[in-house]
Structure formats: structure tokens, C-alpha cells
Amino acid sequence: MKVTVVGAGAVGASCAEYIAIKDFASEVVLLDIKEGYAEGKAMDLMQTASLNGFDTKITGTTGDYSKTAGSDIVVITSGIPRKPGMTREELIGINAGIVKSVSSSLIEHSPNTIIIVVSNPMDTMTYLVHKTTNLPKNKIIGMGGALDSARFKYRLAEALGAPISDVDGMVIGGHSDKGMVPLTRLATRNSVPVSAFIAEDRLEQVAADTKVGGATLTKLLGTSAWYAPGAAVSGLVQAIACDQKKIFPCSTLLEGEYGLNDLCIGVPVVLGKNGIENIVEIDLSDAEKSKMEESAEGVKKTNGLLEF
């Protein structure tokens, strides 16, 4: 199992670290355009191997896509990160060109690979990869929902005063501050609806805090977060590499599912060795459907800014 991570910055390096620590991949390749940067990150990570007990080989390369040849899974984290006050959508001009070039170069050397898109605006970048490559739809996956759901569960556990292992919940919709749809109605604590433990207004605050989770961290850190995005990616990669058939909310191309067409947006999917093996359609309430449609309109508006 060979995994390539494009972009050796904080998010990309975290992806590589978590994938290596889980020790299911034989090789992780880090690629970056900054001279020596990926090589240095790879060397630093390899020097933790004996300490963290993994045998995954991590290598780095400066822009040499031939080193990525034969990758089973590739992760695109490259692009400029958010700064305080920026929306994900404001990154589209620069990041679209980067993602288009990167995906083309990756597929040239790994034509049967599965692509996981992390670069923002994530739903639109995932859609761009669909429109500019010949990969089947099941092999192009946007990461956002897995991260948003992890942030949702963090906020739920905080509100409940419960261990996070007790909590389950999901965020669908667009990976944006306005587009996320935290499914508070379906969130549970050990199979019991969380509404049995906390009041409606507190649950609404959990949803609101979840939706600005990335912006909150960007304000605190001065740049985008990296630990949780890296962990979210590693979860998706492991589900595919180990054929786990796990359900994650991911950005995928919809063709009638949820009443939506010709856009990539976060919905629950089953992940296995073929990438997206099934889109799971859940019954949404009228309010949730309305929020999902509103989110889809926002994603389509951003997609309209693309130049193919």
C-alpha cells in the first residue's frame, strides 16, 4: 500500500504522521514544491519510527512526481491556508490552479489511484477534480465532512460533560461556515438521543460552534488547523486501504441523491478498497432538507467561479 501526500506543510505532515503511526501502509511519499522541505519532513518523521513503533517508510521529494508512481491513494493538501478573517471560498483563485495541476500530474504516474481532496474550498476543489480528470466518481473524495463531524462530536462531548467515546454525531452539507448541517436530531450518547441530556438552546449552540470550528482555530492559531485535519485524512485512508467499509460523511459527486445533481457535497458514504462504495441516503427532516438545499446553493455559487 503506497500513499502519496502532496503538500508537506502542517496538514500534509500530520497526514503522513498519523498514517505512518497506524502502520497499515508500506510507504508514504511526501511531495512539496519548496526545495528540500518534503525531504526534511520525511527524515524528521522517520526518526520517530523506532520511538513510535512503525515500519512505514516515509520519503520526501521536491516536485518529482515520478516518485509517486504506483500510489494506491493520493491526498491533495496543497494550496494556501486560511488566514484570520478569510473564508474558505476566498482561496479559490490560487488553489484551483494548484489542485488542477497537481491532480493531473498525480494521475499521469498513478492512473488508477484514489484521490482525497483536502485543499479549500474543499467541495469545489473536489468538483474540479471530477471535471478535469477521467477518474470514476467513486475514486474522488472530499475530506471535509469527516473533520466537521469530529469537531461536532468534540462540541457535543463538551456540552454533555461526557467522554467523547460515548458520543456519536454527523455533519453533512458543504464544508463552509455557513454550509455545514450538523444533524443534532440524530446525535446520540450511547444510543440515547442527546436531546435527553441537554436543552434545545444548548444543542443549537453546539451546532453553531461546530460550523465555525475552523474559523475559531484560524483566529487562535493565525492559520488553518492541522492535527484534526490530518487525523481525519488518516481515518479515510485507513478505511480505504484496509477495506473497512466504514461510514464517513465525505464530499462526493451527487447524481440525484438527496435530490441534488452535478455538485460535490458532504453526505454519508461507505468507504472501502474501491473508494466510495455506496452513498447512504438518510431520511432528513423538512428543516434539514431545507438547510441541505441552502448549503448546495452556496456550493454551486462557489463552483460558478471555477474556470476549467
- Enzyme catalytic residues: 175
How far is Cα 211 from Cα 171, in angstroms, rounded to an integer?
9
**Ordered DSSP codes for 99-162:** HHHHHHHHHHH-TT-EEEE-SSSHHHHHHHHHHHS---GGGEEE-HHHHHHHHHHHHHHHHHT-
Whole-angstrom distance, CA of residue 171 vs CA of residue 186: 10
Helices 213-221/144-160 angle, 10° precision: 90
Distance CA(6)–CA(9), nearest Å, equals 9
Mutual orientation of helices 200-211 and 144-160 as an angle, nearest 10°? 140
Q: In Å, how far from its chain's centre is CA 227?
A: 12
Q: Which three cell numbers stand for residue 209?
A: 460552534
3-class secondary-structure state, position 261: strand
Q: Distance between CA atoms of 115 and 141, rounded to whole angstroms?
A: 6
Contact (CB, 8 A) for 8 and 30: yes
What kind and span of H or E run contains 61? strand 57-62
Q: For the packed helices 122-132 and 92-109, what is the interaxial angle rounded to 10 degrees?
A: 40
- Residue 107 gets the label, from left (phi > 0), alpha (psi -120 to 50) or beta, of alpha
